[in-house]
Structure 1
Amino acid sequence: MSFWNWSFLLLVFVSVTWSDSNPITQQKLDQVSNLPGQSFDVAFAHYAGYVTVNKEFGRALFYWMTEATNDPSSKPLILWLEGGPGCSSLASAMVNGGPFHVNEDGKSVYLNPYSWNTVANMLFVESPVGVGYSYSNTSSDITNNGDKRTAADTLQFLLNWLERFPQYKGRDFYIAGQSYAGHYVPQLSQAIVRYNKENAGSPINLKGYMVGNALTDDHNDRVGLFQFMWTVGLISDQTYKKLNELCNRESFIFPSSECDKIIEIANQEMGGIDRYSIFTPPCPNNSVTKRFLKRWHNVGPIGQSYDPCSEEYTVIYFNLPEVQSALHVNNSIKWEFCSAAVYNNWKDSPISVLDVHQELMTYGLRIWIYSGNTDAVIPVTSTRQSIDALNLTTIGPWRAWYDDGQVGGWTQEYTGLTFVVVRGAGHQVPFHKPKQALNLVKSFLAGTSMAPFVDKVVESSP
């Protein structure tokens, strides 16, 4: 081989090696210039790509980060995790608090005026592997996910991602999520706190976390669900009594056919409503996201988030080749809103994370739990049962909070925890009540109480 050929190969090797180690180069490679179907300009940069979390097995998590719309260098960083287990945070960005939402044609996007990146830099991560665009070169990884490995992999993701985006090292950092992220968020927070104790100079400056309509404690979640279904008139008196009698703590340990039968009766009595939002009509063509059911959870499915027709538009959009190319997706991946393979093969899930919350309160983290009060999957009554089990000291009385003169919901403050109810919201608060959800995250980041009573309340039209 000639000298010039060797020189060329050396130049290519050096260039590739330098680009892999230089964070600015990697950021440029990950930057998204324009989304397909985007007919408008945006005033913020956004990035998408992969971060390897395990080289031996080839596990890589996909992320999408949208900078804050104004002065991003002064804004905190929020990591958003979606539940399931097995559902996509990228999907959540497109139907909840992300800046882009998909139009009905499934081929174009519009700007969300209530995006959370108006107040923070937003990092959406598809976790664990097998969810969305995230993958592993070891096929058995997809059927061996669980809470412990998810927390460990997501912590490793953060450490590696911060090497690529060093400007966020030491930045005020918060974690938020909903549904089964009621496990992910506190468990990841716990992993970070423990990592920081053992590693001086950690780049992760965790300030707090927030979870909504969150799976927290299997027993309390179930008791609260039965209470909610009966209170709002979804089930009969007789079924309510039987649910409490037959589906007790022992039924979590020893399978009970009697409990299964009364749960099926409750399902029949509720009818064809959308349990994620009991007062809104479901999508008439509800064919995209599969409904999942595991015994340890609740009556009714918990696998997916709220199931409006926008899910179908999102699935179409993220499977477009031009979209995957724009987001730097490896090869061609069939993208799903929720992964049945991940959900149906989940390996470990503690019956409660109340002990994790209790541990984290001792570190002075800002901890908020919120709940939409029209959700019949993990309803407000379930969340109140779990908070009550923590035996916290009340420091702020139960009261209404306001949004534009209207009651936005209710709140109560405890030592170490703030609880917020969002009026009229279902399982996904940012989807059903985007403006109120943005007010919620503003107050959370500021560490201030939800807006109190106003002098003049505007009455609703009859």
Structure 2
Amino acid sequence: MNRSLLGLLLLTVSVFSNGEDDLITDLPGLLFKTDFKSYSGYVDANDNGTWRMHYMLTESRSKPDTDPLLVWFNGGPGCSSLGGLFEELGPFYVNFDGETLYENPYAWNAKANVLYLESPIGVGYSYDTNTPNFFNANDDQSAQQNLFALTNFFKTVQPKYANRTFYLSGESYAGIYIPMLTDLIIQGINNGSFPNKNFQGSAIGNGFMNVRGLLNALALWSAYHGRVSLQDWASIKTNCSKGADMDNFDFAQYTNSSNLIDYVGDGSYCGNLIQPLISQNADGTEGFDQYNFYQECYDKSVFQAPAPPATGKRVKRSAIQGVSAVKRNLHYAKLGNFRGTSDLAKNTAALVNRFSNDNQFGYFCWNEDPVSKYLNSDKVQNALHIPQDWKKQNNTWQDCRDSIYNNYKLTYNTTNQFFNSIIKNAKTDFRFLIYNGDVDTVCNYLGDAKHILQVANDNKLTSGPRTPWFYSDNQQLAGYVQTYSGKNGNNATITIDLLTVKGAGHMVPYDRAGPSVQMISNFVWAKPSANINYTSQDNFDPNIQLSELIDTGNSSSVSILLALFTVLINVLL
């Protein structure tokens, strides 16, 4: 055989095996048949390969060989993107038993290949090979890690995506990660150092993009959601703002922060009035969920930890954390060993209410513990190709790693400079989607809207009207959208879609699952300079058909009505 031909064949085999070695061949506990491939492995996040960033990839359920790639980051800082996969937008939800997986009918891989990166190093399964329990992180370091990891993904790990149209996406503190990474990628495309030139946009959900702006807007949001008396609001106007325009008043001047992320009142008269508007009340007993003002987990003894202290720290509540094992066991015995939705039907996904927004049987209230149990199972970690090096460091997978959060160094309290650089330097049409659940108090829609208005004004983008968008065949109001657009000096069209999702909190893909997948599918399939019709069902059919179940050899299943009746009787007893 010709030597050059042999070399080409060997190279082809090598490139193919690079990606296929990470193929998940037997995902433990999977209860439904998948029509897509999933991968799990590592990408290098620095030159010498000591920073190993874990990724998972769920390929598209439509046309994986041609559909675009959507990269997803969770925020925190310190929260794992696998939380996004197993608790929000991925195809796998974990049953109450922490051992089995049921189908999320509204997964974002409907018409996109979705890549989840556990960033920064130290989060989830990502690790430093030289430093056990590595936790040092800051904005610039995270940006460089993300750039290196994504470059390595396209060049070496999954080169079949090297020429694929791709987008960045994420939520919360990814509101800092994504503008920084977007700016670096565009610089890399312009100077020829980044391997994939088909970068068309970035989507940021409930983004932490302007710290002071979010705080000031939250005070307004809270005041008009009944969290302050009219008398106290009048006192703030009279004694604190002294007649200034409240819509643009700097409430932050009466606050302090130890980490530049979380803020509390400074103890002054005005600080004490403003404190309950920006965090939980002074004694920590207010007890609403910061991530969704209207989300309620009624059974506090089992499904919800005590209310977070009024420190300003953003707390993700664990389902059963802080409740004694004795109390848990007694409660489960009372319920007849009720194990959530897995006791109600053989196919948990069949219970998902696809006809209204109340569709997950309180999954939000208890999912963190089952997900943690599942991802800390040795057989699951083996299936995901998690190496012994990670295990030898006595690591555990955590939804959000406190050591990262507590030691993180925020460098940029606003992302204006990155948006401005992106808009100036893009050489091809580029689009942003800035979406917000409108009842999130961690990163509220009003603060993000004001931030984008400033970005648009600084870059002379033209504003379109604010219009409603709709979901499903019977045109249910899903939220509102407004578009800013214009040309930059390179004659590239820059578009920013500012969108709200009605009734959603911080985790939009979970809170409003159907509208969210319709939204993101329309975003990634739009022509770069076109006006997107987010109401369109061309890229997502809301009439979802569930996947066929895997025959586990256990044909017996309890009637839903009988199970519900049994649970209710036991509760009454």
TM-score band by shorter chain is: 0.7 to 0.9
Mapped contact 1:86–1:131 kept (Cα < 8 A): yes
**Distance (whole Å) between structure 2 residues aligned to residue 21 and residue 60 of structure 1:** 24
Query: Residues of 2 paired with 1:289 and 1:344: CA distance?
Result: 20
Gaps of 5+ in 1: 1-17, 453-462
Cα distance in 2 for residues equivalent to 1:138 and 1:201: 27
The one of 44, 50, 58 equivalent to 1:66 is 58
Letter in structure 2 aligned against 1:345: N
Q: Give the distance between the partners of 1:51 and 1:201, measured in 2 at CA.
A: 15
Contact 2:19–2:159 under 8 Å retained in 1: no
Structure 2 residue aligned with 1:407 = 477
Q: Secondary structure at the match of 1:350?
A: coil
CA drift at 1:287: 6.4
Q: Which moved more, 1:125-134 or 1:283-292?
A: 283-292
C-alpha contact 2:254 2:271 (8 A) present in aligned 1: no
TM-score (norm 1): 0.85
Contact 2:185 2:194 (8 Å CA) reproduced? no
1:398 aligned to 2:466?
yes
Q: CA deviation at 1:43?
A: 1.0
Q: Secondary structure at the match of 2:227?
A: coil
- Give secondary structure in 2 for the equivalent of 1:437: helix
CA contact (8 A) 2:456 2:462 kept: no
Please tell me whether residue 189 in structure 1 is matched to residue 182 in structure 2.
yes
| Alpha carbons 1:293, 1:302 under 8 Å: kept | no
TM-score (norm 2): 0.69
- 1:304–1:76 CA distance, 2 compared to 1 (3 A): farther
Deviation string, structure 1 residues 290-325 (Cα, Å, up to 9, x no partner):
96998xxxx551678996311121111111111111
Which residue, 17, 28, 34 being the options, matches 1:42? 34
Q: Which residue of 2 aligns with 1:378?
A: 443
Cross-structure match for 2:221: 228
Do the aligned residues in 2 keep the contact of 1:76 with 1:121 (CA within 8 Å)? yes
- Of 134-143 and 182-191, more deviation after overlay is shown by 134-143
8 Å CA contact retained: 1:291, 1:303: no
Change in CA separation of 1:81 and 1:247 when aligned onto 2, cut-off 3 Å = same
Contact 2:43 2:152 in 1 (8 A): yes
Does the CA contact (< 8 Å) of 1:290 and 1:340 recur in 2? no
8 Å Cα contact 2:43/2:157 also seen in 1: no
Once residues 115 and 310 of structure 2 are traced to their aligned partners in structure 1, the CA distance between those partners, rounded to angstroms, is 29
> Structure 1 residues 251, 233: CA separation in 2 closer, same or farther (over 3 Å shift)?
closer
Q: Which has the larger radius of gyration?
A: 2
Whether the 8 Å CA contact 1:45–1:66 is kept in 2: the answer is yes
Aligned-residue identity in percent: 29
How far does residue 368 in structure 1 lie from its aligned partner after superposition?
0.9
- After TM superposition, the structure 1 stretch with the greater mean CA deviation from structure 2, 276-285 or 305-314, is 305-314
Q: By how many angstroms is 1:251 displaced?
A: 4.9
Q: How does 1:12-27 map to 2 (within 5 A)?
A: 22-27=14-19
Q: Does 1:165 align with 2:158?
A: yes
Q: Distance in 1 between matches of 2:178 and 2:309?
A: 21
Call closer, same or farther: CA 1:85–1:385 in 2, change over 3 Å.
same
Q: 1:201 to 1:358 in 2, by over 3 A?
A: closer
- How far, CA to CA, are the matches of 1:144 and 1:265 in structure 2? 32
SS at match of 2:216: helix
Q: Deviation string for 1:380-439 (max 9, x for gaps)?
A: 111122123224444421111111211111111111311111011111100101100011
CA separation of 1:77 and 1:63: change in aligned 2, threshold 3 A: same
Residue type at the aligned position of 1:86: G
Pick closer, same or farther for the CA change 1:286–1:356 going to 2, 3 Å: farther
Aligned partner of 2:191 in structure 1 is: 198
- Residue range with higher mean Cα deviation, 84-93 or 398-407: 398-407
Q: In structure 1, what residue type is equivalent to 2:223?
A: W
Aligned length: 431
**Is the 8 Å Cα contact of residues 112 and 521 (structure 2) preserved in structure 1?**
no
